[in-house]
Structure formats: structure tokens, C-alpha cells
Structure 1
């Protein structure tokens, strides 16, 4: 039976960052990854020399510690990529964030008048009702934009992504993904030339061979310093004695093995983790885990016989007659993602759930669907331009913020906190719809806890730390809050 000081479950950005931070402190770890490559949903897949993301993953942060990790690992292999993304609706393009004049011109005077009237009505209603916080995504967006603009630009796309009505999605998701955007700000931008909403940036760092390049390099560094990364290795059981984890049972092919450790860091879905505990947790904890929901995702990567198409990094497809939700143009992320300069590679992204018609559709049928839709969208692709394609299906890509998730997650958080030597980090490990740098922040704190610091990683607030306007000052405040929260809990436990 092998033993390591720290056992890390999951080889995505969170798990690998924890290992990297521990390595810098001279602490050995082992990373266990179920897939055949590292990176999680930030990995880079390859098909016939064409490289593509599982979505699109930008590298930017205003937190210097995260930036330092990226630069230490990848060095000069970053390129600066201009950011451009637009909304496609009803055959026309709309800037994101919304440009007032172009939006009104595209929609026409009648619809535009209705939008302004709807906005004023929402603001008047909000003024009369007072400072009542919206609870659902639908209410939050209507409060900000008015009902008419909500139905045009938010409802269809959001329901494509989540597969449930916007009235069943918590406002938490809107608060962190559409931060600081409003129709009022769009008017000010148009009239006075104000800066774009501060939650959006104009350029970003990007590894020249895709995000997987970062995490594959991190894997190399860990293994070089005595911290192995095992691929195709599934953790099927996590054994405990009381509130202390003692070992994990691994499955590699048909072989089972055991691994012990002093500390354990988890980044697999928290619902899966509690069901793998042995003995199992109390019934209320298992019920909470069953209550958490996830949205799956698949990408149809198409090789197009065109040297260039639209200029965007990605497009949001809001038109309800198309099933595709978002389109990535990987050549516009990095030219090195496409091995033949006379070709283009597009990622047609479909949001779905395991077992539904999209998920169960054959690869040939999915390529046929994506090929037909890219032609119908009139984005420069003609019949016969699609030369080839491949499919990647991604389980549990997005934690769902439905009406019950918060109460379920609180039960799981409180239970996990009772363990002496277990921490859970990252998007799925904490069931938070966060981004790569936020996942890394939680992992950095977890690693710092192992080497002697005291932080409450659950106190890193994903809404406040929304990555595009998160500063070093705010990061320092987060660490102080996490420290003081931990100190308070220690004091209370001692007093008890």
C-alpha cells in the first residue's frame, strides 16, 4: 500500500494548483485523475492536429498570486489575444456588452421604444417596491434591463444553457456572470463615451497551444519534483474513521489498489465525494448531495475549408430556432490551434443533460446537425465547406443554481468542515459556477492550510471575486476574512 503526505483527487486547475503550491513549500503530493489527460474542463483536446478547448478558457486575473503561478509554469508560451464576442439574434449581430446605438438600430424604432418603456417600468416598480433583492435570474435581469430586453437577449440563451426556466434559476448566477451591466450604463456609454462595463476586458493571455498546455506543463513540473500525477485513475471509495480520512480505493482499468495519506484535497463533484465515503454520511447529507444538479455539455468540433470566417473568439447564439448555444472560433484564440492556415476550426457548443436527445444522438448525427446549423447561420460557411468533425461529451460541466441548491450546499459544506484532514476545492468540488482563477484561489488556500496557515476556503465569495474585476486589494481582504473566520471558529470551539 502506497502512502503520500497529501492525496489530491482530480487533475483539473484546482487539483494541480494545490499540488503546485505544496511543491513550492517542499510538500509531496499525488494527483489522481479519472480522465486520460489533465486539465478537467480546461484541458485541450486534439483531433488530426487540430486543437480545441472544452468551451473557451481565457487566462486573466487581477490577483497577483494567480498571475505568478501562470507565469512561473508557462513563461513565454503565453500570447496576447484580443477579446471579441458578440450576440447573434434574429440574423443580426449585437455587441457584448450591449452597444446602445447598434442595438436600437438592429431592433428598429418600434421594438426599441418598447424596450425603453419596459426598462422605465421596471425601474419605477423597483423604486416603489424598495430595496428588495431579486431571488431568481428572471427577476434580477428584469430589474436591470426591463422585461422586453430580458426576453430578447437573456431568456432564450440562458434556458438553452441550463435546460430549466429562468424563473427556477437563482439570482446568484446572474450576479456573478452579468456583473455591472445595465441599460443605464449602455446609455451613459453612448452619450458620454464612458468606459466599457468594468467586468469585461479587451485582451487576455492565452497559451499558444490552448489551456491544456498550462496544465500539462504543471503535470511535468510536479512529476519532476516527486509528486506523481496518475491518469485513468478513478477514486471509487474514500474510507474514514470518524471525521478523519484514512485512505482512498483506486480503480485503474480492472485493478483496485489502496492509497493512504495525511491530508486529502478533493476537486471531484462534492455530491460524488460524499457518496464515495465509507462509512456513508448521515441520511440528510446524502439527501443534500442527491439534491444538487448539474448540466452536461458537448462540443462538435468542425474543420471548415475556409481560411477565415467571423472575427470573434466566440459567438452567443440567442436565436431560439438554433440548438447550438455558443460557437468558438479557435483560430482566433491562437493561430497555432489550427495546423493548416487554409482551414478554420469551429467549436459548436450544445448544452444538454445526460440521457436527453442531444446527449444520446450519434456522433454522425451531431456532426450533421452542427454542419447544417453553421450553414443556416450565414456566418460564411457554405454547403460542402465542412470537411470533418469530432465530438467531445463533458459530464457535469456546470453546477446548476436552481431554487434548492443553496440549502443543499450548506448541508454539505457544514458536513465537510467537520473533517480534520479533508478539504474540497474548485468548481465541482464546491458546486460553484466559478472560473479558472477562482478555482485556483480555493486551491491555493487549501494548500496553505496544509502547510500551517488557517483559512476558511468557503469564505472566498464567488460573487465578490468575479474574476474580471477582482483586485489584489480584494484578494487580500478575502484572505483576511478567511483567516478571521477560521480564528473565530477555533475560538468558539475552544470556548465550547
Structure 2
């Protein structure tokens, strides 16, 4: 390694092994590097933030720990679950799943329970929901191009408007008619009103159901990724924090080196292989020379939804039993509320207090995103009282704000055609793969991001996986399959024993 006062140059020629450069220290980037390290292939990981984990990191404020959105550890991919336990070992706890929906001044159990729903909605509204459901089953909508059409065909128009429309539009900031059906098919496939009622009334659990508990690192999800970081550093695959990639140099069909900034330092890294997890649109603008204009136009056309969380400290020992609550009522700006003490008691340093995460979905430049931190904390404090979850605003003792750019890739009406242009272009490079949620502009959970990374690592070792097929046919992320014949096939070279022999997770 050649080092000067202001420049660090890492060359693959100084080693007897191939070197992989990984852009991004989130679940996908760390998983790829870790899998390569297990096969003797060194990596250098470049992470723009001050800690690893990406959107799955755990932030801290005055010893209070909180997630950026809440991350449960459950999966239908046994290879991923095996990896979680291999890295974190006994530092998981089992957490019972409890969540509710707030709508029109009332709290609904989620998953929906018929007696609770009828009590809250009233008999007339409930009968109209059933009528709407049977009506669409007799005469379904002929086209399912957008979210509204897809959900209506499965739940009926009235239930769609009651429990899907307002919350979805709050999350994405656009009408449901502008959200592609792809997103609905990926996130809520396999559920139906009929199945929900049968499961709730009869306790049915034949092939699929919503999970009732999940694994969780005792100190939050960031604990997992920090453990990955420790192992990689110890294995000679360094993770560089606060390091931003500013240029990705290319010659013909090959990436040649990365230029990155870390404070006042400039790092130049050569490599044999490159794995990207930064937003694929941003990657196109980092290429040097730049790609053709049609590629840049497609990159500029991809849209993202941003996110901010306002953790507030409340001087109450117990507020409510839920892990999280969805706020569907449009009169409240908050979209979801996390109760981190109910994820793990170790997240809160004072057992007599509670830390709530007030989550707001927004876009850079809008009123919420630009709001002063003090005003955001005041807004969160007022809303938690108006929701009836805290009885006096004076009990909110402290708070902070964390903003997360590009938290969610948007599935608008044009995203698919633009993404296909970028996908085809990236495939022309011999030594570049792009994985993970933002790297593929796909609303993956962390397990699907990790699976794409495992397969990318295998490709470096000689396989030929199509990474873009990951999570295209998987059912809703909270379903699991108990029929072994329905296991998703994965490359034999990364097969691992299932942690739980009773279910495929």
C-alpha cells in the first residue's frame, strides 16, 4: 500500500489474491465482503456514514438506542438465517409481535381481528366491506396496473379505502393510482380478506400465516452489522467509515479504480471486482467517463422517498404494549410509531422511561424535511398526546431527529422502464455488480438484500447468477411457508442448515 500525506493508494498488485472493492457498508455490502472473506478473497469496504448498517443501523442518543424504522429478523432464506446466527450467536432475543392500526380515533388489531374490527367500524360499515369484497370477487377489475386496482381486486374497494389508501399515500406522497402494482405484489402477496377472517376466527395455520414472534439483536439491528464490521476488519478486509465515493473510473467494459474522500484525504483503490450498494442512479453519475445521456436520463428519472424519525423520551414506564403502531388517519402527519422498549428493554437505559420513534415519511425539500429540529420534536410531542398515547405533553422530556435520504425506492408508473435501462447498462460491465435495496432500486428487506449479496459473491467465485431475479416471486415479507416443496431454490454452494426445522424461514 502506497501512502502519502494526502493520498492513500490501494493496489491489487501488492497482494497474491484478487481484491474486491465494495461500495457501501449496509447489510448487502457487508454480507458480500464477509462471504468473500470466508473464501480467502479480500475486500475493501467504503461507507459514507459514520457507522455501518445503512438504513438497518442502530442510532444512539444519550444512551437511548433506536432503529431507523424498526427491523425484525425473520426470513424464508435459511442461508441468511444461518449467517445471522453465525455472526451474532447468542445475542438474539425472541420478541412477540404486536402491532395495531390507528384509524378514525380507534385502534384496530393488526392482523385484523373480525370482532375487534366490527366493534370499531360498526355493523353497517362491516357489512358494506363484506359486500364490497364479494362484489369484486364476482366481477373483478379487468386491469391491475396500479396499487389501487391490485388491492381492490383482493380486498374490495371499501376495505381498500379504509385500511390501505390513506396510509399508503402518506408513505409515498403520491396517489395510489400512481404506484405500480409491482409494489403491492411484492409486499402484500398471499393475503386475502377471506384468509384473515378464517385465521382469526378458527385459528387456522395450515400453510401460511403472519409471524407471531421474531428474532431481534438485544442492542438493536446495528449490533449485527457492527459485528460484521469487527470480523471483516480482523480478517484483513477493512471497513472505512466516513468515506464517500466520488468517482468510479472505467475503461471499456471494466471498472478500473475508485476515488473516494475521507475528510481531507483522497483514497485511490484499484480492484479486480467491484460490488455496489449505493443508489444505482447515483452510481451512474459517479462513473468516469460518464455513461451516455440516455443512461443518465434514466438515472435522473428514478425517484426515492425520504424519511425522518423523531425519537422522544417520555417519563412513563409503560405506555402501550405494541412494538409499533400504524397511523392511518390523514389528520396526523406521523406515519408509524415505534416503542423501542418493547423491542428490547436494553434499548432504553432508564427502566422508568420510554423511548418512542415517531416516523415521518417525506421528501427532501418539502415542509417536513426542512422543518427545524425543535419544531419537529414539538410536532411529535403534540401528536403523541393528541393520539391519546401520552396524557400530558410535559411528560415528553427530550428528543432528537434523524433524517434518512433515499430510504425507499419509489415504484411509480415509469420506474420499471428506467430501471431496465440501467440494469441493461450495468450488465455490460465484466467486473461490476450492484446489489441491495438502493443498488437495485428494489424495495427489498434486509434478508433479500443479503441474498443478492451472497449470490454476487458467488459470481465472483465463478457462478453465473442473475441477481435481478431475487425477490421477484417471493410472497409477502411476513408470510412463511411450511411446505418444504415450496422452498425457494438457492445455489448449493451457499446452502446451510435451517435453524428451525419446523418452518422454512
Same fold (TM over 0.5): yes
C-alpha distance after superposition, 1:232-268 (max 9, x if no partner): 0000110000110000110112332311100000000
Alignment of 1:454 with 2:464, yes or no, is: yes
Alpha-carbon separation, structure 2, partners of 1:250 and 1:473: 47
Aligned to 1:2: 10
Give the direction of change, closer, same or farther, for the CA distance of 1:361–1:330 in structure 2 (3 Å limit): same
Alpha-carbon separation, structure 1, partners of 2:486 and 2:253: 33
Query: Helix, strand or coil: the match of 2:89?
Result: helix
Greater share of residues in helix: 1
- Give, in angstroms, the shift of residue 174 of structure 1: 1.1
Query: Helix, strand or coil: the match of 1:303?
Result: strand
- Give, in angstroms, the shift of residue 186 of structure 1: 2.6
Give the direction of change, closer, same or farther, for the CA distance of 1:257–1:455 in structure 2 (3 Å limit): same
Aligned to 1:118: 132
Give the direction of change, closer, same or farther, for the CA distance of 1:21–1:466 in structure 2 (3 Å limit): farther
- Give, in angstroms, the shift of residue 473 of structure 1: 6.1
Aligned to 1:488: none
- Give, in angstroms, the shift of residue 322 of structure 1: 0.4
Alpha-carbon separation, structure 2, partners of 1:48 and 1:192: 46
Structure 2, unmatched stretches of 5+, are: 1-8, 13-18, 493-505
Give the direction of change, closer, same or farther, for the CA distance of 1:278–1:318 in structure 2 (3 Å limit): same
Alignment of 1:19 with 2:33, yes or no, is: yes
Aligned to 1:280: 290
Give the direction of change, closer, same or farther, for the CA distance of 1:464–1:190 in structure 2 (3 Å limit): closer
- Give, in angstroms, the shift of residue 198 of structure 1: 2.6
1:51 aligned to which of 50, 53, 65:
65
C-alpha distance after superposition, 1:123-178 (max 9, x if no partner): 2221xx6xx45111011111111111111111110011000000000111111222
Alpha-carbon separation, structure 1, partners of 2:151 and 2:124: 22
Give the direction of change, closer, same or farther, for the CA distance of 1:435–1:199 in structure 2 (3 Å limit): farther
Alpha-carbon separation, structure 1, partners of 2:207 and 2:162: 20
Q: Is the 8 A contact 1:90 1:319 kept in 2?
A: yes
Q: Is the 8 A contact 2:188 2:475 kept in 1?
A: no
Alpha-carbon separation, structure 2, partners of 1:473 and 1:75: 29
Aligned to 1:483: none
Alignment of 1:350 with 2:360, yes or no, is: yes
Q: TM-score, normalised by structure 2?
A: 0.91
Alpha-carbon separation, structure 1, partners of 2:419 and 2:258: 23
Alpha-carbon separation, structure 1, partners of 2:476 and 2:248: 32
Aligned to 2:387: 377
Query: Helix, strand or coil: the match of 1:256?
Result: strand
Alpha-carbon separation, structure 1, partners of 2:215 and 2:102: 25
- List, as ranges, runs of 4+ consecutive aligned residues in structure 1 with deviation greater than 3 Å: 190-193, 465-476
Equivalent residue pairs, number: 477
RMSD between aligned alpha carbons? 1.7
Alignment of 1:177 with 2:187, yes or no, is: yes
- Give, in angstroms, the shift of residue 381 of structure 1: 3.9
- Give, in angstroms, the shift of residue 468 of structure 1: 3.6
Q: TM-score, normalised by structure 1?
A: 0.93
C-alpha distance after superposition, 1:428-463 (max 9, x if no partner): 000000101000000000011111222111122334
Structure 1, unmatched stretches of 5+, are: 481-496
Aligned to 1:64: 78
Alpha-carbon separation, structure 1, partners of 2:330 and 2:428: 46
Aligned to 1:492: none
Q: How does 1:10-159 map to 2 (within 5 A)?
A: 10-126=24-140, 132=142, 134-159=144-169
Aligned to 2:498: none
Alignment of 1:477 with 2:489, yes or no, is: yes
C-alpha distance after superposition, 1:211-236 (max 9, x if no partner): 00000011000000100000000001
- Give, in angstroms, the shift of residue 423 of structure 1: 0.2
Q: Which range moved further: 417-426 or 248-257?
A: 248-257
Query: Helix, strand or coil: the match of 1:384?
Result: helix
Give the direction of change, closer, same or farther, for the CA distance of 1:465–1:473 in structure 2 (3 Å limit): farther
Aligned to 1:330: 340
